Amino acid sequence: MIKIYNSSEIDKSEILSRSGQTDLEKAEKTVREIISDVRARGDVAVKDYTLRFDGCDISDMRVTEKEIDEAFVKVGDYFIDTLKAAAANISEYHLKQKRAGFEIKRPDGTVLGQRILPVRRAGVYVPGGTAAYPSTVLMDVIPAVVAGVEEVVMVTPPDKNGRIKDEILAAARIAGVKEIYKAGGAQAVAALAYGTESIKRVDKIVGPGNIYVAAAKKAVSGDVGIDMFAGPSEILIIADGTAVPDYLAADLLSQAEHDRLASAVLVCTDESVAKKTAECIRKRLEKLPRREIAAQSVENNGKIIIVGDIDEAVDISDALAPEHLEIMTADPESVLRKVRNAGSVFLGRWSPEPIGDYFAGPNHTLPTSGTARFSSPLGVDDFVKRSSYICYSREALYKNGERVADFARREGLDAHAQSIEVRLKDIDGEEK
């Protein structure tokens, strides 16, 4: 059962603890071996690991148009319409993130500027396993398309029959993916990072996965760009006496059912609401299909913390920097203005976290494990890079060159200084 604490009676370190968080180090040795093998043997290695880990002996990794066509039919018109509506919302939101470059022109002829350019080829990892995640397809692919990425390639593990879930394939087509490969785990990350006979290397890899995927992304980072190291799912709810306990319970469990390591935390100013929420959690768990996973998550990582006021609740929330933050108070907008650290924030009783997972528009690939202190949700910026350019006129160089040469010599870099001075000498000669 979820534990209830009074903030005045619990040590702060216990409030801020994230028990059961994944340790990437235990997977790194295995992952390094897999990556090395894929670099050496290419497709053969990827297929060998697919057989070993996914139980699937696969001959051709690339998903065919026929398979996607069949998936479209199987999922039905209603779900296709839902995917299209969600995709439209996600596109609308991420279009607002696009940035233009700029240019500065000075009277002396100096021109300075910045270009914002998309990466040419991006890889999207979509998890398989116990659940299908077409939402991840939309959330990770659409920002890349909006950014202008020319080639978006998707990898996802097949089932034992060599199939990808229909919902994932349908979402991929709607999002704009042209290449899909039946490959998962560290071997798929290695293929994206370094290339194989079938899978051309990419410039950036995004998307969540298990501990081995996370460790693989860490290992290839630097040779290829990555988005973030995704940890277990998290939700924190700030609530007062106006909150509905059953809503709170349902929302906490919406994240607890993801993973045994997921964390669900309620920080509440009202003791009665807190205790009623705990009881609602108990009742909902009894009927939840994924109750074993959710119950373990709640038992190990769940907390209900009773606090004196909203400011204390915000302090705890900011210290934890949760992936998802719900504000269930009488005036959620005023609380939002006090919040500094959160991946995505949901305001009011009619904005449950799953509306963000699937449909609203903001991205659901979010910083976890407290990294919302310095990281942001996945977005268009993750698929672009900035280049600066400089064009000095003869006049501008002559005006500032001596200062630059002096600067260089103060750093002990004479060749830098001479690169300037050789030009200044020529200008002086021309003027004489």
Catalytic residue set: 323-324
Residue 380 carries which DSSP code?
A: G
**151 vs 149: CA distance, rounded Å:** 6
**56 vs 59: CA distance, rounded Å:** 10
**236 vs 11: CA distance, rounded Å:** 18
Residues 6+ apart with CB under 8 A from 250: 280, 284, 352
CB 124 within 8 A of CB 183: no
**125 vs 133: CA distance, rounded Å:** 11
Torsion, Cα of 355, 342, 232, 242 (10° steps): -60
Residue 10 carries which DSSP code?
A: S
**C-alpha count within 13 angstroms, C-beta hemisphere, residue 67:** 21
Q: Which of 207, 202, 259, 199 is nearest to 228 (CA)?
A: 207
Please, what is the Cα angle at 97 between 95 and 103, to 5 degrees? 110
- Which helix (H) or strand (E) element contains residue 115? strand 111-118
Q: How long is the chain?
A: 432
**121 vs 202: CA distance, rounded Å:** 5
